[in-house]
Structure 1
Amino acid sequence: MELTQIRLLVTDFPACYRFYRDVLGLIPQADDERGPYAKLSPDGGSAAIALHDRSLMTAVVGALADAPAGHRALIALRVDDLDAAHAELTARGAAFLREPVALGDRLRVAHLADPEGNLVELQEWTRALPA
């Protein structure tokens, strides 16, 4: 078995697409904010976040529960400099739920939410795990 991607089922595809492309700066495989599907990755790498229009998936699988309320997913993105990433994303219009803070003795984090309420955690690793 091989994990190929994790998809977020979204109701407002264009708003979510613009958030991941314009605010977080992820690079889309194809630049089309109309959807119904998009795969975006940092620096064009192989790891990706995929967005999928919820109504289309409802048609494919027959039924999905109502649009979820509250935070349903957390996407963790590693950055080299959390303070710099925080400043850059704030300048792009990001509204953080939690400012940069230490989380234990090896990690600093900051949190924001996408237009659908999915949490995005920016992580700066301050020291590696012991081998």
Structure 2
Amino acid sequence: MELTQVRLLVEDFGSCFRFYRDVLGLTPQVDDESGPYGKLSPPSGAAAVTLQQREHFAQALPDGLGSAAQGVRALVVLKVESVDAAAARVAARGYELLTEPQVQWGRLKVAYLADPEGNLIELQEWLATDT
């Protein structure tokens, strides 16, 4: 398991993008402050900060999860080798997933769960692509 990003769900994407780029000096993967998604990395190459417009995030969620995401400002994204295997481990340890594993945008397989305080966690498997 690898921490790949802390994702902030934002209303004003442009202002937040400029803050992390111009004030904190993080390097954007794509220098586009129009959104709806952006990844900005520190010089050390450590886990990235990503920004996603809240509405864009809500639209990508499976039916039924939208209410669980209400008011959420951030989520932890963990890269795993297999979302299905990670989901099975979570279930075996007595926690219930908020969603079944599913493919998003043709390149990620994801599942969501919440910690005891209700913070969202995305388990993310990177799928092979032709590009």
For normalisation by structure 2, the TM-score amounts to 0.47
Tell which structure's C-alpha radius of gyration is larger.
Answer: 1
